Amino acid sequence: MNNDFTFSIIKPNAVRTGKTGPILAMINEGGFEIAAMRLVKMTLSQAESFYMVHKERPFFEGLVEFMTSGPVVVLILKRENAVEAFRKLIGATNPAKAEPGTIRKTFAVSVQMNAVHGSDSPENAANEANFFFSGIERFF
Ligand code: IDP
Ligand code: MG
C-alpha cells in the first residue's frame, strides 16, 4: 500500500454513542474516500495483537479492555498523502491538546476514549489494513 491509503478505527465509545455517521461525514469532508469498511467486535487476543507495539506501556491493559468493550468500525481510507492528512484531521492523541475542528477534539471523551485510530506510517497502514480486511473486501 502506498501513501494514497490509510487505516482507521472508529472506537467503541464513538460507535456506542451514535457518532459513527458524524465521524464518517467529517472523514468524507476531509477529502477521504472509503475504500473498505466493516463493523467488528475484537476479541481480547485480537486487540492485544493489534496493539502489540504498546504492550509494555502502562495504558496497554486498559486500552485492549476498552477496544474490546463493544463494536468498532474499521476503515481503509483513500486520499493523496493519506497517512499524514488523516493524522491531521483526527488531531492529537490527547484531545485536550487536539486542534479545534479535529475529530478527536469534537468526539473524544478522554485520552483513552479518543474516538478514532489513525495509522502513523504507510507501512503500519498496510499492516493494519491487512489485519482486518481480505482482498475481496477492498474497493480500490
Ligand atoms: P495514537 O492513537 O494517537 O497513535 P498511541 O500513542 O499510538 O496514540 O496510543 C494508542 C492509543 O492508546 C491511543 O489512541 C489511546 O486510545 C491510548 N492511549 C495512549 N496514551 C494513553 C495514555 O496515556 N492513557 C490512556 N490511554 C492512552
Ligand atoms: Mg499510534
- Mean per-residue pLDDT for 25-38? 97
Residue 120: CB within 6 Å of ligand 1? yes
Residue 121: CB within 6 Å of ligand 1? no
The CATH number of whichever domain residue 101 belongs to comes to: 3.30.70.141
Residue 59: CB within 6 Å of ligand 1? yes
- Nearest protein Cα to ligand 1, atom 5: 93
Q: Look up the pTM and report it.
A: 0.96
Number of domains in the chain: 1
Say which ligand is closest to the CA of 86.
1
Residue 122 is part of which domain span?
5-137
Q: 117 an active-site residue?
A: yes
Q: Give the whole-number percent of the chain exceeding pLDDT 90.
A: 93
Collect all residues with Cβ–Cβ distance below 8 Å to 86 and sequence separation of at least 6. 6, 8, 30, 32, 77, 79, 118, 119
Determine the atom of ligand 1 nearest the C-alpha atom of 53. 7
Q: Give the whole-number percent of the chain exceeding pLDDT 70.
A: 97
**Separation of CA 32 and ligand 1 centre (Å):** 23
Give the ranges where the chain is alpha helix by DSSP (H): 12-16, 20-29, 44-50, 60-67, 82-90, 103-107, 122-132
Read off the pLDDT of residues 96-125 as tens digits, 9 standing for 90 and up. 999 999 999 999 999 999 999 999 999 999
- Does the pLDDT at position 138 exceed 80? no
**Separation of CA 119 and ligand 2 centre (Å):** 6
